[in-house]
Amino acid sequence: MTNGDALVLDACGTDIHGEGALLRSAGAARLVELPGGVRAWAIADAAVLRRLLTDPRVSKDPGRHWAAWREGRVPDDWPLRIWVSVRNMFTTYGADHRRLRTLVAKAFTPRQVEAMRPGVEQVATGLLDRIERTAASGQPVDLREGYAYPLPVEVICRLFGVPADRRAAMRSVVDTIFDTTVTPARAQANALELYEIMRGLVADKTADPGDDLTSALITAHAEDAGRLEADELVDTLILMLTAGHETTVNLLDHAVTAMLTHPEQLAAVCRGEYSWSAVIEETLRWQAPVPYLPLRYAVEDIALDDGIVVGAGDAILAAYAAAGRDPAEHGVSADEFDLSREDTQHLAFGHGVHFCLGAPLARLEAAIALPALFDRFPDLRLAVRPEELATIPSFLSNGHIAIPALVGPPELSGGGRATA
């Protein structure tokens, strides 16, 4: 659907890849309308997007560089407001971004991430044990609810010291942030609840600090407020504890379903012909966990291919799912999951100075979780036809509502492996 010269994006994300193909057909950029009537230039061409993500004329600071925001044309009840109103490294530019990123980056060095391996393995084993107990009855298990979702949530909560009694509430507000079908009133109420949870966490850790990243950030604020302001502290926690795990949840979701719907490629992985790393990278290319990521802004006029000019102060929407399937980079088979593909480059974790800090941790979690799952349950198969797997109602999050699967041998649990 179009509104004037703008393509109205489907807030439900019903056909993310069909929409992506439509965006790519428009050339270097296409004017789109987001929920709430806000407009932006969607960039679906992989080469153009890669250039813009490293272009110093592209900012993430709405207060300085988004004309509609500065001029008050973005309503207070805009459903996606939380994505740009927070003040953390996700929405800053230049020196401010470097300052905030530096404070968190030390927790995601290769050495620090590798030190998390035993903890990730422990979480994965515990979840697999639970799946095995649930599956003993022969009934299907939900691999998203029982594995893909709780594993990264548990890991990030441990890293930031989130108490167990706060995690259910945190999950609820995170899910609502990514649900782009909620009403403006629900989005506003959810943002208030999110801030209440995060401020409560800061208060608890201030009174009783621990060996976790939240306590470390509080210490940085207390020692030098110039490095981290109070609002920036809370907003940094919002970034890391919300969007920080969503990518990994959907990566695991789609990697599992890719293997279950491509049994011949799963068999090749099990024979050692392809690595689990290859599975991870092809999954990220084929099914970007976050299809679109709001927003960036043109600091000055930027001339693109095809004579398109993104004007100074215009918003820019990175279309990661569309870029991952760009035939210009991946040929006519770009829509296919193919572990024999030589070039699996993608932008699923971003590019340039805003490249996802948590990417090494996400890859580590997937590299542990995937072989652990298929080694434990070699007869694992979908309990429904692939076309019955419903997607979550969002154009910002790419995953399934549920992944029903059977664990035991077919003669014990009934039915055969569902394939694409």
44-53, 277-286, 342-351, range with the lowest pLDDT? 342-351
In a domain, 326, yes or no: yes
Please check whether residue 287 lies inside any domain of the structure.
yes
Kindly report the pTM of this predicted structure: 0.92
Q: How confident is the model at residue 411 (pLDDT cuts 50, 70, 90)?
A: low
Q: What is the CATH number of the domain that holds 380?
A: 1.10.630.10
pLDDT band at 420, cuts 50/70/90?
very low
| Residue 420 covered by a domain | no
Letter for the amino acid at 368?
Answer: I
Reply yes or no on whether the pLDDT at 380 is more than 80: yes
Q: Are 172 and 241 in contact (CB under 8 A)?
A: no
- Position 32 scores a pLDDT of 97
Q: What CA dihedral angle connects 124, 130, 136 and 140, to 10 degrees? A: -80
13 pLDDT higher than 70:
yes
Q: How confident is the model at residue 416 (pLDDT cuts 50, 70, 90)?
A: very low
Whole-angstrom Cα distance, residue 85 to residue 135? Answer: 44
Query: Mean of the pLDDT values across residues 130-135?
Result: 91
Question: Number of folded domains in the chain?
Answer: 1
Full strand arrangement of the beta sheet holding 381-382:
141-142, 404-406, 381-382
Instruction: Answer whether residue 307 is part of any domain.
Output: yes
Query: Containing domain of residue 96, as a range?
Result: 2-413
Least confident residue range of 39-48, 109-118, 160-169, 404-413: 404-413
Residue 137 lies in a domain: yes
Q: For residue 31, what are its two tokens?
A: 């004017």
Could you tell me if residue 419 is inside a domain? no
The rounded mean pLDDT for the chain is 91
Residue 203 placed within a domain:
yes
Q: Is 94 left (phi over 0), alpha (psi -120 to 50) or beta?
A: left
Predicted confidence at residue 415, as pLDDT, reads 45
Q: Give the up-direction half-sphere exposure of residue 311: CA atoms within 13 A in the CB hemisphere.
A: 7
